Structure 1
Amino acid sequence: MSVTVKVAEAKAHLSELLARVEAGEEVIISRGNDPIAVLSRIRKENDIDKTIAEIRAMRQMAKPVTQEEIRAWRDEGRA
Structure 2
Amino acid sequence: MEAAAQYDVHEASTHIAAILQLVATGQEVIITRAGEPVAKVVPFTRNVPRTARGSLSEPVVFFEDRAGDASHDARA
Does the alignment reach a TM-score above 0.5?
yes
CA displacement, residues 7-62 of structure 1 (integer Å, 9 cap, x when unaligned): 000000001100100101100000011000000001124xxxxxxxxxxxxxxxxx
Match of 1:38 among 7, 22, 40: 40
AA aligned opposite 1:34: E
CA distance in 2, matches of 1:44, 1:19: 18
CA distance in 2, matches of 1:19, 1:44: 18
User: Which is richer in helix?
Assistant: 1
Residue-pair matches, total: 45
CA distance in 2, matches of 1:8, 1:22: 21
Structure 2 length normalisation: TM-score? 0.56
Structure 1 length normalisation: TM-score? 0.54
Identical pairs, percent: 31
CA distance in 2, matches of 1:8, 1:33: 12
Long gaps (5+) in structure 2: 48-76
Q: Does 1:10 align with 2:12?
A: yes
